[in-house]
Structure 1
Amino acid sequence: MKTTLTGERCVACRKGAPRLTDAEIAGLRHEVPEWEVVQREGMPVLERAFPFPDFAKALHFGQRVGELAEAEGHHPAILTEWGKVTVSWWTHKIHGLHRNDFIMAAKTDAIYKTEAHHSVRKE
């Protein structure tokens, strides 16, 4: 499914901004269907593991996600392992999920699609 989120930019989020409701999360999940909402330290986090054929390609992908995060001013947890990168998005200031997290998940997927053309995917 084509996403509209990749065309959006993150907006500044202040402490106390409303978190997404369960209904809002459900409405956005169809745009990033391979991402899961998991609980980490009592808060919802949007998370996905991306497979790679080796550490070098995984590391390169992690770097590209980091560059995106800097450009947007919104930063994930990125765990790079041999053959896999796990990316977790949530909004630190509100201790939960915001539309920004779904925007960044969609943009992370777009980077992965570009990277997948340069390497053999292992799933």
Structure 2
Amino acid sequence: MTPEAPEELHVKNCISCSGEIPPLKGADLDRLHIQIPEWSIEDEHHLSRKWSFKNFIEALDFVNQVAVIAEAEGHHPDISFSWGWVEIRIFTHKLDGLTESDFILAAKIQRVTEEDGECR
């Protein structure tokens, strides 16, 4: 019998945080990070990633796509952008650290660039 593969993060939904669980650390972060290796884990506190775009309109379009995902998931990243770039930071504000929902949101955002067919 083979072990069941873990459910892919992008098909899961973010779960509302009550603030009663501790943030993820160490091996728990590593286990989830495998599915979104393009993202960086910063100080076991937040996920971050930066994208480059050809112009301001493309960057803004990407931000708007991320906003739709964030609203649907009820989990909102910190987004910075300007001409030709977007940077996203994700963490669970209520815990001031990372939860599985942060990785789920990152995986869903990642799919936007994969579906576009462009590496950003």
TM-score bracket for the superposition, by shorter chain length: 0.7 to 0.9
Partner in structure 2 of residue 49 of structure 1: 50
Partner in structure 2 of residue 75 of structure 1: 76
- The TM-score with structure 1 as length reference comes to 0.85
Alpha-carbon distance in 2 for matches of 1:116, 1:58: 15
Identical-pair percentage: 36
Q: Does 1:100 align with 2:97?
A: no
Aligned pairs, number: 114
Question: Secondary structure at the residue paired with 1:94?
Answer: coil
Call closer, same or farther: CA 1:106–1:27 in 2, change over 3 Å: same
Q: 5+ unaligned residues in a row in structure 1: which ranges? A: none
- The TM-score with structure 2 as length reference comes to 0.87
> Deviation string for 1:52-106 (max 9, x for gaps)?
1111001000011011101100000011121111111100011100000000110
RMSD of equivalent CA atoms: 1.6
Partner in structure 1 of residue 23 of structure 2: 19
Runs of 4+ in 1 over 4 A off after TM superposition: none
Alpha-carbon distance in 1 for matches of 2:12, 2:61: 24
